[in-house]
Structure 1
Amino acid sequence: MSKPNLWRGMARGFAGKCPHCGQGRLFRAYLKVESPCAACGHDNGQYPADDAPPYFTILILGHVVIAPLVVLPVIWTLNPVLVLAVALPTVGALALILLPRVKGAVVGLHWAIHKNEGVVPGQGEDSGAWAPPEA
């Protein structure tokens, strides 16, 4: 495989593909990472996404949907029930669409910076020692 590239890894993850090979699926369920990759065998489950995907999803949605609701003057002239009836399902649907893509990008980022690669603590003769990835 080629040397890890930050943008390529994030783009592949955003597309739901394995950041290592770009061929296999990254997710086997909505947010469950496929580990190992069916195409190349790379262990994508080693890259923790934790709280970053929901945080970035909320950050993006806040700028794309909520900011215009607050800033645009036409919104303030409409019936608040109508605004909520349109805005809440829109935000919910966009969050559900965007969350797996953002998680894929975070996994791709971790792949590109070699997060969690090396010796797994408790395994091998140097149990607990960390070894940098081979160049």
Structure 2
Amino acid sequence: MAQDTQWPPLSPYSTGIRGHCPRCGQGHLFSGFLQLRPNCEVCGLDYGFADPADGPAFFVLCFACVPSVALAVWIEVAFQPPFWIHLLISLPFLLLTCILPLRPLKGWLVASQYFYKAEQGRLDRGT
């Protein structure tokens, strides 16, 4: 397997958002919608380092769910429509703004972990 020094650094924005390997930019990060592959099929990078945890869900909640719920509340207060109107307007808007950004955000977080060499925190016991 090739050393990391043989690969030029690639921007996490250009690779992660598209779901490409953070090292070579050609392989794929995902085997499903949000399921990470075990490694890159092009350069062989092991994706074992990747742990975005709840990061994508947090960002989606903050930046997509809150405005979606605010829209639904505004529609309810301003127009008091029947429930089926919310099913036609509010629910699809909520689903689109909450589900579609998950994959690009997860890819960006994984690529950022690789780019910035982020690791789990450790206590320094040797002084």
TM-score by length of 1: 0.69
What CA distance in whole angstroms lies between the structure 1 residues aligned with 2:67 and 2:20?
25
Gaps of 5+ in 1: 118-135
What CA distance in whole angstroms lies between the structure 2 residues aligned with 1:96 and 1:105?
15
Counterpart of 1:3, as a letter, is P
What CA distance in whole angstroms lies between the structure 2 residues aligned with 1:77 and 1:90?
17
Gaps of 5+ in 2: 1-6, 121-127
Output one character per residue of 1:12-70: Cα deviation in whole Å (capped at 9) or x when no partner. 11111111111111101121111210011111231101011111111121355334445
**Residue in structure 1 matched with residue 57 of structure 2 by the alignment:** 54
Count of residue correspondences? 113
Q: Percent identity?
A: 25
What CA distance in whole angstroms lies between the structure 1 residues aligned with 2:104 and 2:67?
16
TM-score by length of 2: 0.73
Query: Is the aligned partner of 1:18 residue 2:18?
Result: no
What CA distance in whole angstroms lies between the structure 1 residues aligned with 2:85 and 2:115?
41
Matched-pair contact (CA < 8 Å) for 2:72–2:86: no
Matched-pair contact (CA < 8 Å) for 1:47–1:116: no
Match of 1:110 among 104, 108, 113: 113
